[in-house]
């Protein structure tokens, strides 16, 4: 069962939340939960109270010290996303697959690895034999 916080503890947590948001510039509710030890529900209630009192600003991206701080944060994110190089590196680690037979090769979107593995299985061989008309093989 969740811990019940007294009014003094709630005020203390509110103070911690305001201080954490001002220090970092942005905090999500999940980050605040872990840092303060409050439950998710209590954190959402306290965040609503703090927003209503004007101590912090809430947007879909977390809690900010002010609305201007959120705009600055969003603009900084836009600039960072534009600054990334457009062309991918020579070998992207996400594009290399380690196959079950130990072979390592680059990912090919036209090659369906799962389908190939499935086709080689004994069960799929029986299904394919059935649909190709080799009923004797299936019965054995």
pLDDT tens digit sequence for 63-80: 999 999 999 989 988 888
Chain centre distance of CA 61: 13
Pairing of strands 62-64, 96-98: unpaired
CA end-to-end distance (rounded Å), the chain:
59
pTM over 0.95: no
Dist CA 50 CA 34 (whole Å): 18
Quick one: average pLDDT of 36-58? 91
Confidence band for 120, pLDDT divided at 50, 70 and 90:
confident
Domains of the chain: 7-83 (1.10.10.10), 93-139 (no CATH)
Dist CA 21 CA 26 (whole Å): 5
Tokens of 13: 């947590």
Question: What pLDDT, on a 0 to 100 scale, did the predictor assign at position 51?
Answer: 92
């Amino acid at each position: 069962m969740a811990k019940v916080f007294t009014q003094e503890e709630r005020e203390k947590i509110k103070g911690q939340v305001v201080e954490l948001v001002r220090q970092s510039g942005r905090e999500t509710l999940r980050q605040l939960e872990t840092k303060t030890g409050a439950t998710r529900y209590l954190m959402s209630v306290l965040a609503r109270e703090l927003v209503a009192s004007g101590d912090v600003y809430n947007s879909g991206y977390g809690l900010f010290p002010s609305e201007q701080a959120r705009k600055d944060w969003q603009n900084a994110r836009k600039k960072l996303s534009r600054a990334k190089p457009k062309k991918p590196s020579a070998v992207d680690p996400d594009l290399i697959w380690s196959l079950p037979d130990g072979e390592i090769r680059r990912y090919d979107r036209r090659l369906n690895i799962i389908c190939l593995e499935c086709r080689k299985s004994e069960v799929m061989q029986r299904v394919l034999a059935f649909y190709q008309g080799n009923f004797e093989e299936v019965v054995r």
